[in-house]
A and B are shown apart, each in its own frame.
Chain A
């Protein structure tokens, strides 16, 4: 079920100016465009229009490790960037997932796709989401205008923060041409505590206890009857935090994984390896952690399986439930892998919010040509 994404086929403007001219032209003729970076994060098969790839808008503009700042063009492959950061002992703290396994894609994840999807993995719990690390953007809007917002510094409240809007808009407001992001030190010292044979309810209780400590737990995932906690720290700090957490959570015997096993496990958890290799519908659901066991239980009753991330704040549900059934149980549900389901992927917005969103779309893309309908409800 590997689907070919025509990342190099179709339109691939090589410069911001070329992209601007192309979009301005499409705006006047009303011809829609289907935008993709590596095509690995968002299902756009049903989006009308010619494919527009950002692959030719590639390369790192600047990377200043001492300032923890990276500026790159959107088509730059994420693995190239992550390798470059790792060489300086840094990383993106929000740990973006690689969704290729889950979505059955073979493209190369790009930094533009990461920002457009606001991709944020297990570390989001501690470090914030991609949008929290985005310092500035350049983009071409649906009128072909080349625009910029934000900058490359950590603190910036100059004017309206349009970067937040662009991040997570999946290309529907504009096509990115440059992103500036904050990088952070990546420390080698880490371990994982695994509590086996627990229910979702017990897992969330473990998470809540751990996350009420000052030990900076950087991952809290429940999968297949095990609650996993990731602990990080500098050298002796790590041992101290691990031992205090073990002392706090004495209900179960804990397995302790070393740094190497931790990296492997959390890569799997991050990339949802347990939901890869299938094409059943997969839902991403946001809840209050304390509500997760009940919501997940109700979903599982429809058939299928679930896992929890973000200490219970994020439910991944894979199963045969229909959109109506799933949204009947919980409001904030996004369909990540369609698995044959039709209809809107994003949850409905309250009417006043929907009207504001529509007004903004009108501002950025009045002809509705950028990933048209992708985020419609």
Chain B
């Protein structure tokens, strides 16, 4: 991270005083004991307490805080629930965090027009919770959905296991109230199935807090399916499991989720959750939705496809308990891996057809780097999550794991994929951006940031490689 600005640090008392004077008493936190709670997000390797934390309750309060920071030239790090895995909400010592977690109102539920309007500090899962009695739900379902908020989902364009069928945040976002860096409030989109004019909301979604802070959102909602049921299919090779995924997709059956776990992951999960998974090279969990008859029909087709590929096991869930047992291991995979040691969770995406080759190459890289890796991912869309195991107490091991991770992400780009499918760039993949994008490709993205944030105060040192963005930041400092 860049060295904190000594000028800003020396003005800290004045900055805090200005924020306190303009905002409710409990909205500003500056005591070092308390700001420490905000020193990192879910990428805990890097930590740095911010200068102050602002926790507004309204759009107006967010705007006030933004205006003050802009006038006083203080960097702002937007923060939702702090579940980013890429350091997207990592503070700097000279920044003010503006958190959205107190913006918790459900503003409007309109099932006739199939949308809800929410303040963006509501959690992802609570939106669906509020809709349950109406027979509707909100589709994007990141694994952190119990904790993560809509603001963070929009910033990262979050996805989840069920995105194969329902898309990610950008596909389910209709409108946004955005506070710009100057404190100006802008409405983008609305309850209509827009956009009209340039799709600024599409640009904002997934921009990782580089363009503004979204305080309210209009979300598309969908009727709840009648039912859902998973099947578990075990294979004795990665290649044949990958082939099964491709054949299912081509058959016309569109499952809501196709999840993949490899043998390293399976052994860890089994030891932890005792889910009764088969001992084999790869397991797929395929979930389909519909009425009981529709589900039977789809599962019969999937069975036919799988049988032709000689699975080790094909396990159908016949009731809710059996369905839960199938999901249990997958849902506890990350926790189970944690028991084996420390790990880095990667997030590259590859074309589905490249999955077998990529898995093979990851195995080779694992041998080269001398670190074990487990693979668990959303196979339907090629979004891989290799987990690299290392020992945080062993000097040099973290650096080794990071180097291995970088090699895997480069591999993802080389086979036609990308650096991040759903976690975002943050600080984690910032310096790899030049692998995926050439100079002009990054330049135009930074020029777009300039339009929204001419002083480059929003979420500094994220997304764009420091070296590449240096001239832009220097130029911005003169504005």
Tell whether A332 pairs with B416 under 8 Å between CB atoms, given A148-B441, A155-B163, A359-B451: no
Q: Is B356 an interface residue (CB 8 A)?
A: no
- B436: chain A residues within 8 A (beta carbon): 151, 158-159
| Docked pose: A286 CA to B224 CA in angstroms | 25
Interface membership of A341, Cβ < 8 A = no
Chain B residues with CB under 8 Å of A145's CB are 440, 444
| A211 to B423 Cα, complex, angstroms | 32
> Which of B30-38, B68-76, B290-298, B363-371 touches A?
B290-298
Known: A214-B226, A289-B113, A290-B112. A153 touches B351 (CB 8 A): yes
Q: Does chain B have a CB within 8 A of A17?
A: no
The reply to whether the CB of B152 lies closer than 8 angstroms to some CB of chain A is no
Q: Once the chains bind, are A240 and B294 in contact (CB under 8 Å)?
A: yes
Among B113, B254, B416, the one with the most A-chain Cβ atoms within 10 Å of its Cβ is B113
Q: Which of B223, B251, B349, B449 contacts A213 (CB 8 A)?
A: B223
Min CB gap B468→A, angstroms: 12
A161 x B170 contact (CB < 8 A): yes
Smallest CB gap from B163: residue in A: A155
A158–B445 alpha-carbon span in the complex (Å): 11
B418 adjacent to chain A (CB < 8 Å): yes
Q: With A and B bound together, what is the CA distance between A184 and B166 in angstroms?
A: 13
Q: Mark B363-403, 1 if CB is under 8 A from A, else 0.
A: 00000000000000010111100000000000000000000
Chain B CB within 8 A of A272 CB: no
Given A89-B252, A155-B422, A156-B421, A240 and B197 contact (CB-CB distance below 8 Å): no
Listed stretches A63-71, A109-117, A253-261; interface member: A63-71
Please give, as numbers and ranges, the residues of chain B lying within 8 Å of A124 by CB-CB distance: 193
Question: Within 8 Å of chain B (Cβ to Cβ): is A146?
Answer: yes
Residue pair A235, B297 in contact (C-beta under 8 Å) = yes
B191 is an interface residue with CB less than 8 A from chain A: yes
Q: Report the separation of the CA atoms of residues A356 and B53 in the bound assembly, to the nearest whole angstrom.
A: 28
**A153–B188 alpha-carbon span in the complex (Å):** 27
A299–chain B nearest beta-carbon distance, Å: 16
Write out the residue numbers on chain B whose beta carbons fall within 8 Å of the beta carbon of A184.
254
Q: Once the chains bind, are A352 and B198 in contact (CB under 8 Å)?
A: no
**Cβ distance B300 to chain A, nearest Cβ, rounded Å:** 10
**Are A234 and B253 in touch, CB under 8 angstroms?**
yes
CB atoms of B294 and A157 under 8 A apart: no
CA distance A304 to B451 in the complex (A): 42
Interface size class of A (residues with CB under 8 A): 35 or more
Q: Is B167 an interface residue (CB 8 A)?
A: yes
| Residues of B104-152 whose CB lies within 8 A of A | 110-114, 135-136
Judge whether B194 is part of the interface by a CB distance below 8 angstroms.
Answer: yes
Contacting pair B206 A161 (CB below 8 A): yes
Q: Is A357 located at the chain interface by the 8 A CB criterion?
A: yes
Other-chain contact of B353, A67, A88, A118, A347 (Cβ < 8 Å)? A67
Any A CB within 8 A of the CB of B171: yes
Among the 9-residue stretches A43-51, A79-87, A163-171, the one with 4 or more Cβ atoms under 8 Å from chain B is A163-171
- Nearest-neighbour CB distance to chain A for B327, whole angstroms, equals 20
B252: A residues at CB distance < 8 A: 89, 185, 187, 234
The residue among A155, A156, A350 with the most chain B CB atoms within 10 A of its own CB is A155
Question: Which residues of chain A are near B225, meaning CB under 8 Å?
Answer: 214
Contact A314/B193 with A128-B171, A141-B444, A184-B254 known, Cβ cut-off 8 Å: yes
> How far is A141 from B202 in the complex, measured between Cα atoms in Å?
19
Asked if B5 CB lies within 8 Å of chain A CBs, one says no
Determine if A162 and B297 form an interchain contact, defined as CB atoms under 8 angstroms apart.
no
Q: Which of B213-234 contact A (CB under 8 A)?
A: 223-226
- Report if B458 contacts A (CB, 8 A): no
Cβ distance A316 to chain B, nearest Cβ, rounded Å = 14
Least distance between B372 CB and chain A CB atoms (Å)? 25
**B199: Cβ under 8 A from any A Cβ:** yes
Please determine whether B224 and A214 come into contact, CB atoms closer than 8 angstroms.
yes
Residues of the B chain whose Cβ atoms lie less than 8 Å from the Cβ of A290: 110, 112-113
Give Cα A362–Cα B451 distance, bound, in whole angstroms: 9
| CB proximity of A211 to chain B, nearest CB, Å | 6
Q: Are A234 and B421 in contact (CB under 8 A)?
A: no
Q: In this assembly, does B207 line the interface, its C-beta being within 8 Å of a C-beta of chain A?
A: yes
> Is B452 in the interface zone, CB < 8 Å from A?
yes
Q: Which residues of B contact A157 (CB under 8 A)?
A: 156-157, 206, 420-425
The reply on B419 being an interface residue by CB < 8 A is yes
Q: Is the CB of B447 within 8 A of A363?
A: yes
Interface residues of A in 81-134 (CB under 8 A from B): 88-89, 118, 124-125, 128-129, 131-132
In contact, B171 and A156 (Cβ under 8 angstroms): no
Cα–Cα distance between A289 and B174 once the two chains are bound (Å): 14
Q: Which of B199, B349, B423 contacts A168 (CB 8 A)?
A: B199
Q: Tell me the B423-437 residues at the A interface (CB within 8 Å).
A: 423-425, 429, 433, 436-437
Q: Flag B188-209 by CB within 8 Å of A: 1 or 0 each.
A: 1001111111111111011100
A289 to chain B: which residues have CB within 8 Å?
Answer: 112-114
Cβ–Cβ < 8 Å partners of A3 in chain B: none
A101 CA / B250 CA spacing, docked (Å)? 34
B64 within 8 A of A: no
Query: Contacts of B163 on A, CB cut-off 8 Å?
Result: 155
B170:A164 contact, CB within 8 angstroms: yes
Q: Does A236 contact B (CB under 8 A)?
A: yes
Interfacial chain A residues near B202, Cβ < 8 Å:
131, 161, 164-165, 167
Nearest A residue (CB) for B423? A157
CB-based nearest A residue for B113: A288
Q: Which of A160, A173, A286 contacts B193 (CB 8 A)?
A: A286
Within 8 A of A (CB), among B400-421: 416-421
Asked if A169 and B198 sit within 8 Å, CB to CB, the answer is yes
Interface centre among B112, B253, B301, by most chain A C-beta atoms within 10 angstroms, is B112
**Residue from the set A131, A157, A161 with the largest chain B CB neighbour count within 10 Å:** A157
**Which among A214, A290, A347, A362 has the greatest number of chain B C-beta atoms within 10 A?**
A214
Give Cα distance in the complex from A69 to B448, angstroms. Answer: 28
Of all chain A residues, the one with the shortest Cβ separation from B207 is A160
Q: Kindly list chain A residues whose C-beta atoms are within 8 Å of the C-beta of B423.
A: 157
Taking a contact as CB atoms under 8 Å apart, the answer to whether B448 and A160 are in contact is yes
Chain A residues closer than 8 Å to B223, beta-carbon distance: 211-214
Interface status of B285 (Cβ within 8 A of chain A): no
In the complex formed, the residue of A with least CB distance to B432 is: A158
The reply to whether the CB of B361 lies closer than 8 angstroms to some CB of chain A is: no
Cβ contact within 8 Å between A288 and B351:
no
Residues of chain B within 8 A (CB-CB) of A276 are none
B182 — nearest CB in chain A belongs to which residue? A352
| A153 with B186, Cβ < 8 A, contacts A67-B352, A288-B191 known | no
- Bound together, the chains give a CA A346 to CA B449 distance in angstroms of 25
A27 / chain B contacts, CB cutoff of 8 Å: none
In angstroms, how far is the closest chain B Cβ from the Cβ of A200? 15
Cβ–Cβ contact B193 & A240, under 8 A: no
Q: A157-B420, A214-B225 are in contact. Are A334 and B167 (CB under 8 A)?
A: no
The one of A125, A147, A240 that contacts B291, using a Cβ cutoff of 8 Å: A240
5 new A-B contacts, CB < 8 A, other than A65-B250, A162-B444, are A128-B171, A131-B202, A208-B113, A353-B197, A363-B450
Counting from the closest, the 5 A-B pairs by CB-CB distance are A164-B202, A155-B421, A359-B451, A154-B381, A286-B192
List chain B positions with a Cβ less than 8 A from chain A.
110-114, 135-136, 156-157, 159, 163-164, 167-168, 170-171, 180, 184-188, 191-203, 205-207, 210, 223-226, 246-247, 249-254, 289-291, 293-294, 297-298, 301, 349-353, 378, 380-383, 416-425, 429, 433, 436-438, 440-442, 444-445, 447-452, 463
What are 14 A-B residue pairs whose CB atoms fall within 8 Å in the complex?
Answer: A64-B351, A66-B246, A128-B171, A156-B349, A159-B433, A160-B203, A164-B170, A165-B203, A185-B249, A214-B224, A286-B194, A313-B113, A334-B196, A347-B196
